[in-house]
Structure 1
Amino acid sequence: MTLNDTAKPVTLITGASGGIGSALARALAGTHDLILAGRGGAALDALCAETGGRPLVLDLTRPEAFAEALAGLGRVSNVVHNAGVVELGAVWEQSHAVWTHTLAINTVAPAELTRLLLPTVRQERGTFVFVNSGAGLSANAGWGSYAASKFALKALADALRGEEEASGVRVTSVYPGRTATEMQRKVRGQEGADYTPDDFIDPQTLAASIAFVLNAPRDATLTDLTVRPGPQV
């Protein structure tokens, strides 16, 4: 079975109940069969009911448990690594616990999920999408631990792309600017600034961009996609 066949692609989204993840699930519903990964709970259940997706409960801090959680999952055509955490702070004030947790969620979990899911994605000649950040291209003061995790995520995606080109697997890194999500609300609070959603990218716009990557014709690979807030009107 490949994406050239008539069966719908099966797309797994991590962080599915968050702002970007839920917008993407809604954008793909009906054209993709969805596996919606998260920590479980009412929000994930409601999203699955709305989109027809299957829930996948994952604790991203426990990569040793991934293999059991993924057992019997069946086809997976595409994987969208969307889950992430952020904790702002200067290098001098952030403990190893913050760094370890941030790297575990933002880098180690995607690496292990990719390793485990790669055989079926190869079979499908599918796509891995790594939802990165502008901080994965440039590190600003106070963003050290988060930026480090996203720089590492870029390295993971770049290496995977080179390794899997011959197998027909496509790999895309998406670098969103500030997006109107609850994570952005938290960041603005940590910065001591107001959260005004209209100043940022709508999650549905970012979801449409990721959907385009997944649905792009086979004669093209979008290796890197940077999405920035548009001019205010």
Structure 2
Amino acid sequence: MAVHLLTGAGSGIGAALARRLLDRGDEIIVLARDVGRAREIAATLPGAGTLVGDLANPGRLSWALSKQHLPDRIDALVHVAGIVDLGPVADLPATLWEQQLAVNLVAPAELTRLMLPVLRVSRGQVVFVNSGAGLHAHAGWSAYAASKHGLKALADSLRAEEAEHGIRVTSVYPGRTATPMQARVHQQEGTEYEPERFIDPESVATTILAALDLPRDADITDVTVRPGA
């Protein structure tokens, strides 16, 4: 039975992936920002284990996890959690830059660092759910895109560093996906949200599963998922 540690499993892509993994008999552990949120997620994902750690405060992750029982084995660490706040560079305050960089980039780096010892033992895999914004930045998306461009750099460096330990690293770049984050984006853009126009989270989950299940003679390093015609 494979063991997966997921962030962002409370909704959207993360929730879809968590359900699929549980349904096929894998073990999952979800990281939640606080005890209350951990209970909420566990109630929607029967059988899932939980850990508590606030991605908005990556400097405290090591301390938080040191107070909890960590799994002896992790086969995959899947980073799905993220936040977005749009705005032109001229108007975006430093606090919104700091929050997005913390959750979208620094926390994945720190959580990966903390989990590397067990991932090395299992010759596991790290999956970063990035974004189309991690490849192309548009007006109003500077802070979010910067965090996601940084996430690509993190993945590329990690892949080169950990190849000797047999760790596979995959970046997934979904286009606009019908998630609560996308609803927030439309609210910020002042446009009507029509989820049927966008990628179903299940489709992105299917892509992630393909990367996780790929035989060890091959490696999916980067994959872009776009809305269908």
**Structure 2 length normalisation: TM-score?**
0.94
Cα RMSD, aligned residues only: 1.2
Mapped to 2, the partners of 1:129 and 1:14 lie a distance apart of: 11
Q: Is residue 49 of structure 2 the alignment partner of residue 45 of structure 1? A: no
Give the structure 2 partner of residue 56 of structure 1. Answer: 51
Mapped to 2, the partners of 1:17 and 1:56 lie a distance apart of: 13
**How far 1:68 sits from its partner (Å)?**
3.5
**How far 1:211 sits from its partner (Å)?**
1.0
Which one-letter code corresponds to 1:27 in the other structure?
Answer: R
Which one-letter code corresponds to 1:62 in the other structure?
Answer: N
Which one-letter code corresponds to 2:18 in the other structure?
Answer: A
Mapped to 1, the partners of 2:55 and 2:40 lie a distance apart of: 17
Match of 1:209 among 192, 207, 226: 207
Checking the alignment, whether the CA contact within 8 Å between 1:179 and 1:200 is kept in structure 2 is yes
Give the structure 1 partner of residue 70 of structure 2. Answer: 73
**How far 1:43 sits from its partner (Å)?**
3.2
Mapped to 1, the partners of 2:83 and 2:100 lie a distance apart of: 6
Mapped to 1, the partners of 2:194 and 2:53 lie a distance apart of: 31
Give the structure 1 partner of residue 27 of structure 2. Answer: 33
SS in 1 for 2:170: strand
Gaps of 5+ in 1: 1-7
Q: Is residue 161 of structure 2 the alignment partner of residue 163 of structure 1? A: yes
Which one-letter code corresponds to 1:13 in the other structure?
Answer: L
Mapped to 2, the partners of 1:114 and 1:199 lie a distance apart of: 34
Mapped to 1, the partners of 2:59 and 2:85 lie a distance apart of: 24
Checking the alignment, whether the CA contact within 8 Å between 2:42 and 2:48 is kept in structure 1 is no
SS in 2 for 1:44: helix
**How far 1:63 sits from its partner (Å)?**
2.1
Checking the alignment, whether the CA contact within 8 Å between 1:80 and 1:129 is kept in structure 2 is yes
Match of 2:17 among 21, 24, 29: 24
Checking the alignment, whether the CA contact within 8 Å between 2:58 and 2:103 is kept in structure 1 is no
Give the structure 2 partner of residue 192 of structure 1. Answer: 190
Which one-letter code corresponds to 2:223 in the other structure?
Answer: L
Structure 1 window deviating more from structure 2 (117-126 vs 67-76): it is 67-76
Mapped to 2, the partners of 1:47 and 1:224 lie a distance apart of: 30
- Cα deviation, 1:37-61, whole Å, max 9, x if unaligned, reads 1224253122332xx1101122112
Give the structure 1 partner of residue 5 of structure 2. Answer: 12
SS in 2 for 1:217: coil
Which one-letter code corresponds to 1:31 in the other structure?
Answer: G
Mapped to 1, the partners of 2:42 and 2:164 lie a distance apart of: 38
Mapped to 2, the partners of 1:208 and 1:116 lie a distance apart of: 27
SS in 1 for 2:45: helix
Identity across aligned pairs (percent)? 54
Checking the alignment, whether the CA contact within 8 Å between 1:48 and 1:55 is kept in structure 2 is no
**How far 1:202 sits from its partner (Å)?**
0.4
**Structure 1 length normalisation: TM-score?**
0.92
